[in-house]
Amino acid sequence: MSAALAPSWLRPVDPPDAVDVCVWSSTTRRDASGSLVVGGVSAGDAAAQFGTPVYLIDEADVRSRAAAYRAAFAGWRIYYASKALLSRALVRVIADSGLSLDVCSGNELQLALSADFPAERIGLHGSNKSDVELRLALESGVEHIVADSFDELGRIERIHAATGVRASVLLRIKSGVEAHTHESIATAHEDQKFGFSLASGEALTALLRCHDNPAFDLLGIHSHIGSQIFDTNGFSLAAARLLSLMQQFQRATGVSLPELNLGGGFGIAYNASDSPSTPAQLAAGLDAIIADSCAKFGIDKPKLAIEPGRGIVGQAGTALYTVGTIKDVELDGGARRYVSIDGGMSDNPRPALYGAEYSCLLANRVSAAAPVLSRVVGMHCETGDIVVRDTYLPSDLAVGDLIAVASTGAYCVPLSSNYNMALRPPVVAVRDGVAHTWVRRETYADLLARDVG
């Protein structure tokens, strides 16, 4: 990429009002001094108050995306996939927004319950749930468990034999749909660990095992084809295959399954070239294929549900870092500037895990200096510790400047680690010019407390 080809959103000389609104959270602006402002709080003030790295969550943006999904998917149940980002304050925002919640471990469930999220609006996922997790879910009265394997069905049957408690279940089905996304986040092809195979007949066998079985209240089926998917083609294909399965079940038992959950995976914009569908476009596409397939298979339209995670919180997040070391590296036919920041793969492992790409800006000021091809890298002892692989930053970028990385609300903090004894960053909600800590920065004492040898 040459400087001449740098798209406008990458240019460090953007005027205050030209921050790309499709990548940044909806309230993000530049103020008169040139500082990036999120939720009414300037980058400089946030860094001074909380230090860096810090993850700012634009609360109004979360609420407006939740409202957009509810409006578009009217009549559908919408479960926020809490693995994307989870904290007690966020759980309360989700409850307030009228969404249900999907958790995928006993600990996520406990956190949600500790924030008084109603158990009857929670679904529990997981490909290897323990007896303890299943019992916790049943005792707390969750709405449903999404069962993933024959072993899990056996565990639920044994718990029922011991306690008499019946489990409301959806069965997770792998539809065989090859989602057009990175291999590590595609989840419905045959050769992966999730769900009962549709192609092999396992799915129907599992449904029939749960039918008329005192251990189960069989609610329906679930599918999640993958993540960061931009159009409805994969979802439509999965929906058609799952409705055909529902028809087979109905023919075999005379009973219709009441629910179909199509999972999450709706893509968001990480870069200006990303063009995700809007919730309204997704809903229109899915409603049409479901109506068609139900008519074709002669089955009643089931109750429908989705589970967006990044679609609710992804673009609400902005990560702020301080620039440390700056190094210029000579390359054949050019040069690249390495800009080291005070975080990296410990707080955002997505680029290292699956080549995720991000957009960033100089956040504490604007600069008219010429743009320089730059790579924003972390502070860790790994060459792959890259946060933004290719970007343009101004040539006068200096130690102490702030860098903001967009669309970091989902799967950064939850995947963060203590690599090199890094302290995990705080999560701070910003709204109407006020900042509230949702999750405080980890301390060295937190780390030492576990080291008991």
22 is catalytic: no
> With respect to ligand PLP, which residue has the nearer C-beta, 95 or 225?
225
Sequence-separated (6 or more) residues with CB below 8 Å from residue 87: 111, 427, 438, 439
Residues near ligand PLP (CB under 6 A)? 81, 84, 102, 125, 224, 227, 263-266, 307-311, 410
Tell me how far, at minimum, the Cβ of 125 lies from ligand PLP, in Å.
5
Q: What are phi and psi of 29, to 5 degrees?
A: -145, 175
> With respect to ligand PLP, which residue has the nearer C-beta, 356 or 422?
356
The label of the residue with tokens 């989840």 reads: 187
State the distance between the two ends of the chain, measured CA to CA, in whole angstroms. 51
Tell me how far, at minimum, the Cβ of 262 lies from ligand PLP, in Å.
9
**Ramachandran bin of 220, using left for φ above 0, alpha for ψ from -120 to 50, beta for the remaining angles:** left
Rounded to an integer, what distance in angstroms lies between the CA atom of residue 325 and that of residue 340? 5
Can you say whether the dihedral through the CA atoms of 350, 353, 357, 363 is positive or negative? Answer: positive
Cis, bond preceding 53 (omega within 30 deg of 0): yes
Rounded to an integer, what distance in angstroms lies between the CA atom of residue 146 and that of residue 180? 24
> With respect to ligand PLP, which residue has the nearer C-beta, 188 or 429?
188
Determine the longest span between alpha carbons in the chain, in angstroms.
72
Q: Which helix (H) or strand (E) holds 159?
A: helix 150-163
> With respect to ligand PLP, which residue has the nearer C-beta, 80 or 392?
80
**Is 57 buried (19+), middle (13-18) or exposed (0-12) by CB count in 10 A?**
buried
**Ramachandran bin of 48, using left for φ above 0, alpha for ψ from -120 to 50, beta for the remaining angles:** alpha
Q: Which one of 22, 210, 294, 381 is the catalytic residue?
A: 381
Tell me how far, at minimum, the Cβ of 157 lies from ligand PLP, in Å.
23
> With respect to ligand PLP, which residue has the nearer C-beta, 42 or 408?
408
Tell me how far, at minimum, the Cβ of 15 lies from ligand PLP, in Å.
33
Tell me how far, at minimum, the Cβ of 87 lies from ligand PLP, in Å.
16
